Structure 1
Amino acid sequence: MLTTPIFTRLLSTAEYGQYNVFNSWLSIVTIFVSLDLAAGVYTQGLIKFETERKVYSSSLQGLTTTLCLFWTVIYLLFRNFWNDLFSLTTVQMLAMLVMIWATAVFRFWAGEQRVLYRYKALVFVTLGVSFAKPVIGIVFVVLAEDKVTARILGLALVELIGYAGFFFVQMWRGKKFYSAKFWKHALLFNLPLIPHYLSQVVLSSADRIMIKDMVGDSQAGIYSLAYAVSSIMALFNSSLSQTISPWVYRKIKEKKIKDIPSVAYISLALIAGVNLLLIALAPEAVAIFAPRSYHEAIWVIPPVAMSVYFMYSYDLFAKFAFYYEKTNFIMLASIIGAALNVVLNFICIGIWGYVAAGYTTLVCYIVYCIGHYIFMNKTCDKYCDGVRPYQLKKILFITIPFLAMGFLLLLTYNYAILRYGLIAVAAVFAFVKRKQLVGLVKKVMAVKKS
């Protein structure tokens, strides 16, 4: 994220758009090639099969490697077809397959580290790779004529070198490439979830592909910049979610459902707060991250940032269906959200332009979240003795003011003095309530100790 200002200046808006469309295709193809085995099924399995954790990890590494090799062969046999379908070159497609495997390898290892709360090695590796990616990328882009391919190759090279070793680490520990028990469990769990994972990717990526096709590469680049800036807040999402997920799964396993809401409500309020901060500073963030040609991105950031809040909310609700393997519930809610996103994008981008995609994303994540909330309650009615973890009125007490304040800040973008005044009031309030705010953060982080 910190190097986005560099690459938005090294690449034109059109090149930046092409690179982000590649990332969108990468997200989609990852679902089919790796079945996203490093996602929900792996974390759930680490808790469910904790006495066989090492064998479970190595066997899923083996399954993912097998899938990646299979799809690489399929690609090479019909590469002209695939290249035309994705509008990518052979080099770009091969780099994509390498990235899919390497990223999956890292996610398996990282997931195990998080479940065990071993963060030192994880932080060290993450920082090292995060430093190497932009350094190699800048060198490649500056020296190359095809800057988009150079950017892609830089990422693939760093991920291959940085992550491949973890495959051998987990294989050495588990000493099992193939396990009929765990391969069957992972496939039966994840295959029904393919529509769900694909729907998630459609919600987060289809808009850029549709903007490219319906409006142009430059507009896709501007929209991608807004999405990239908003993704800063998604980092809080993933960090917080990955910290409390093992704890939540353990509470579900122990039937201590009533312990979950107090931490969940606080985490929702924290996510709402950091996203409002981004919305308030969106004009300044865009000015820092990109040259003047990207300025229109400020109008996309508020709805996308508000969507980040609902991404986090959905994850809290979906954990119950994941744990009890109610994949049909998960799939149905996800398909509805993704299908609505494609339809609304097609209609609204055609009428109001690419900025409308930010608002369709927000609407669809709200619908997506509502669907998962309903299915969570159905799951809890059946498996948790009728105990429902969250009260709707408390969720709305956080959500409605968050949305209202987000749109209010959007209206102040042309009135800098008013916007800075609201930021000052919020800063004073945060300072006065600092002890309470620090206490709330400590309460959420206490799940690590428990």
Structure 2
Amino acid sequence: MLKKYLSEFITKYKKMSVVTKAALWFTFATVLQKGISFFTVPIFTRIMSTEQYGIFSVYLSWISVLTILGGLDFHTCIYINNLSKMEDEKEKNELAVSLLDLSFLITFCWLIVYLIAPSFWNSILGIPESIVVLMFLEVFFIPVVNLWSTKQRYNYRYKTLVVWTVGQVFLNAVFGIAFVLLANTNSQAFARVFSIALVQVMFGAILIVSYIKKAHKIIITKWWKKALQLHIPLLPHSLSLTVLSSADRVMINSMVGATETAIYSVAYSASMVINLIKLSITQAMTPWIYECIKHKRYDSIRKHCNAVMLLVMLMSFLFILFAPELIWIVGSNEYYDAIYVIPPVAASVFFTFLYSVFSAVEFYYEQTQKIMYASVGAAILNIVLNAIFIKAFGYIAAGYTTLACYLFLSVAHYCVMKKAVKDNIGNVELFDMKFILALGVVVIFSTGLFSLLYSHTAIRYAVILVSVIGTYLNRNKIINTMKMVKKKN
């Protein structure tokens, strides 16, 4: 029987187009990358002290910010846009070298700013100078990996990308575990960061040399002006989303301590699975929404989005209800209090899904400037609320302030989306807002209610059973919706 199914799958796979195969393998690479990262979290939480894991968590927050400031995410706009316009391969390589030169220069300028007053910046960043230096070293090489990965995706070179992704993630995990085990207790965070930087430098150096050889030049300034014109206006939006996802850990570290940061971060690590599922659903729905708007199938959006949103809500519920078990897997007894961070984190996943669906419509109508206002507003609100409530109620409050900000973000993007729809196609309701509002109220109410069940295991498992039965009863509706989305894609 197994041989028969395997043979049928191989036959179907051979008939797939290169685009379908690429999509399949790119998804596999993403799932594998996140999967390895998720399954190594329990290892690191057990071989690292909570204080050292907390420092490492703060590093993860700052590296995402510095990557944006140093590399300006050139791969997301100017690079991929020009890949479709340029015919000459040498010109494409020259573009890559030019963008790498510019990102290197920008990162170097930020390094100089840091070196002028390292003690001042260390107090703000909340991490040791040795880790900050490694962070800058890593950022020098991140842009080249991003540019190369973008080109592989654009050209559907899925085999090469998968091999490199798997190799990079595997070495990262192996080196990380080995270095942490060899390090003394006070240097575990440095050892973990060093393993990441080492792998990034190894892979990045190979790619940089390759690009320079193909371009036959080391310094190219031709595309600098255009790159800055396109990407500097996008900085507020990109940084705001990063701040929204990272500010809580940084502020907990500075206001409470590294140990509490570690406990809070474990809850976020546990949410990696549900976030990956949500991301996959969002990536599948976005092109489908575009097609529906293009062909004026507005009722289809309204009808099928309800089923998918219900699915995301039910996944959030299960994630909340299984929090004690998830924390036991990801962390240890030292991290048990992280279960109380799970409810707002899971509820935030639902509202980030809403924001993603609404923003898909905004991007379709190119409302990029208004998108920036919504994101910046949410980031500022997050910092203000964290400053007030973390100090008053401790690190668990950060989960609820983040939930409030993602709720604000989804409402703000709904308003922007509503205005864009009205300006382009009139008073059309793309989404069933009464249904969405009802789901939102249920999610918020359940966030507080379900957290009370952690001390009542029998009742909690009864609620889990009801949720599973509810999902099973709606299985046909959900499956048909996902099949329809897949077919349209």
One of 68, 73, 97 as aligned partner of 2:104: 68
TM-score norm. by structure 2 comes to: 0.79
2:273 matches 1:226:
no
Amino acid at match of 1:444: V
Instruction: Provide the residue aligned with 1:378 in structure 2.
Output: 419
Q: Which moved more, 1:275-284 or 1:125-134?
A: 125-134
Q: Is the 8 A contact 1:337 1:367 kept in 2?
A: yes
Q: Is the 8 A contact 2:97 2:220 kept in 1?
A: no
Q: Which moved more, 1:359-368 or 1:327-336?
A: 327-336
Matched position secondary structure for 2:395: coil
One of 48, 57, 79 as aligned partner of 2:115: 79
Residues 251 and 424 (structure 1), Cα distance of their counterparts in 2 relative to 1, 3 Å cut: closer
Q: Which moved more, 1:103-112 or 1:255-264?
A: 255-264
Shift of 1:311: 1.8
Q: Aligned residues, how many?
A: 443
One of 35, 40, 59 as aligned partner of 1:22: 59
User: Partners of 1:5 and 1:337 in 2: how far apart?
Assistant: 32
2:461 matches 1:420:
yes
Q: How does 1:155-304 map to 2 (within 5 A)?
A: 155-162=196-203, 186-245=227-286, 248=289, 254=294, 258=298, 264-304=305-345
User: Partners of 2:306 and 2:205 in 1: how far apart?
Assistant: 38
Amino acid at match of 1:30: T
Percent identity (aligned): 34
User: Partners of 2:478 and 2:317 in 1: how far apart?
Assistant: 16
Instruction: Provide the residue aligned with 1:134 in structure 2.
Output: 173
Residues 409 and 77 (structure 1), Cα distance of their counterparts in 2 relative to 1, 3 Å cut: closer
Q: How does 1:30-69 map to 2 (within 5 A)?
A: 30-39=67-76, 41=77, 46=81, 50-52=84-86, 59=95, 62-69=98-105
2:106 matches 1:95:
no
Q: Is the 8 A contact 2:149 2:161 kept in 1?
A: yes
Q: Is the 8 A contact 1:105 1:163 kept in 2?
A: yes
The structure having more radius of gyration, on CA atoms, is 2
Q: Which moved more, 1:393-402 or 1:227-236?
A: 393-402
User: Partners of 1:196 and 1:247 in 2: how far apart?
Assistant: 24
User: Partners of 2:292 and 2:208 in 1: how far apart?
Assistant: 30
User: Partners of 1:68 and 1:126 in 2: how far apart?
Assistant: 23
Amino acid at match of 2:70: V
User: Partners of 1:394 and 1:246 in 2: how far apart?
Assistant: 23
**Superimposed CA distance per residue, residues 138-161 of structure 1 (whole angstroms, 9 cap, x where no aligned partner):** 001111231111100111222333
Q: Which moved more, 1:169-178 or 1:135-144?
A: 169-178
**Superimposed CA distance per residue, residues 328-365 of structure 1 (whole angstroms, 9 cap, x where no aligned partner):** 31221112111111111111111111111100000011
Q: Which moved more, 1:217-226 or 1:429-438?
A: 429-438
Matched position secondary structure for 1:2: helix
Q: Is the 8 A contact 1:226 1:297 kept in 2?
A: yes
2:375 matches 1:334:
yes
Residues 188 and 239 (structure 1), Cα distance of their counterparts in 2 relative to 1, 3 Å cut: farther
**Superimposed CA distance per residue, residues 358-417 of structure 1 (whole angstroms, 9 cap, x where no aligned partner):** 000000110011111111222233345665533422432443333344443222111100
Instruction: Provide the residue aligned with 1:353 in structure 2.
Output: 394
TM-score norm. by structure 1 comes to: 0.85
Q: Which moved more, 1:206-215 or 1:318-327?
A: 318-327
Q: Is the 8 A contact 1:257 1:389 kept in 2?
A: no
Q: Which moved more, 1:313-322 or 1:237-246?
A: 237-246
Instruction: Provide the residue aligned with 2:188 in structure 1.
Output: 147
The RMSD of aligned alpha carbons is: 3.4
User: Partners of 1:172 and 1:440 in 2: how far apart?
Assistant: 49
